[in-house]
Amino acid sequence: MAALTHFDSIQALRKEYEFTQELRYSNFFYSRSSSWDMTHKGFTGSSKEISLETEESMYLSRGSCLAAPQISIVAVNRIAMGTGLPFSSLKPLRLYVPRSLFLEADAIYVGDVRFLEIPDSIIIISRQMVFCRTGREEPETFEIFNNWIDRDRTDVEEVFIS
């Protein structure tokens, strides 16, 4: 059996979310911007690239999925990925981003996040990176993000959520 292409993988993930109320997909470029806080729930996918920008804060909810070869997320204040109440969803925030992930915000909070495919490159521009643990062992996602942080420019801390 032939390996799945990026397009096939994204379509398979899209099918998992087809019965949710929040399903967004573009065959080319998906872009959304706001001057207010932005909350992402459900599935957002694109065959090329996803771009999410806000002049405030971006909240990427547990149980949701972003799927595209390239993903760019920019927020002035903060990006919160897979954080929130520990039992708000049993599933993590899922990221399918095989090529590149770009994150820019004053502070980035990483909680329950799972890479479905590890990106070739991750660019993180942030003054502060906070890893939010729930008491379990350290997720491999923390290690992946840690490998791409410029520690000369980014303060890193770890907090426990009970």
| Band (62; pLDDT cuts 50, 70, 90) | confident
The per-residue pLDDT for 26 is 87
Q: Would residue 1 count as lying in a domain?
A: no
Residue with tokens 């920019």: 74
Average pLDDT (134-149) is 79
Rounded to whole angstroms, how far apart are CA atoms 150 and 125? Answer: 8
* CA 92 from centre of chain: 10
109: helix, strand or coil: strand
The per-residue pLDDT for 142 is 86
The per-residue pLDDT for 1 is 42
State the residue range of the domain holding 82.
6-160
Q: Would residue 30 count as lying in a domain?
A: yes
> Is the model's pLDDT at 78 over the cut of 70?
yes
Question: How many structural domains comprise the chain?
Answer: 1
Q: Would residue 25 count as lying in a domain?
A: yes
Query: Do 102 and 123 touch, CB atoms closer than 8 A?
Result: yes
Q: Would residue 29 count as lying in a domain?
A: yes
pTM more than 0.75: yes
DSSP summary character for residue 126: -
> Is the model's pLDDT at 127 over the cut of 70?
yes
Cβ atoms within 10 A of the Cβ of 116, count? 14
pLDDT tens figures, 103-125? 999 999 998 899 999 999 999 99
Name the amino acid, one letter, at 112: D
Average pLDDT (39-64) is 92
Q: Would residue 72 count as lying in a domain?
A: yes
Alpha carbon of 106 to those of 70, 97, 98, 130: distances in Å?
A: 21, 22, 25, 11
CA-atom Rg of the chain in angstroms: 15
> Is the model's pLDDT at 3 over the cut of 60?
no
Rounded to whole angstroms, how far apart are CA atoms 89 and 76? Answer: 26
Q: Would residue 46 count as lying in a domain?
A: yes
Name the amino acid, one letter, at 47: S
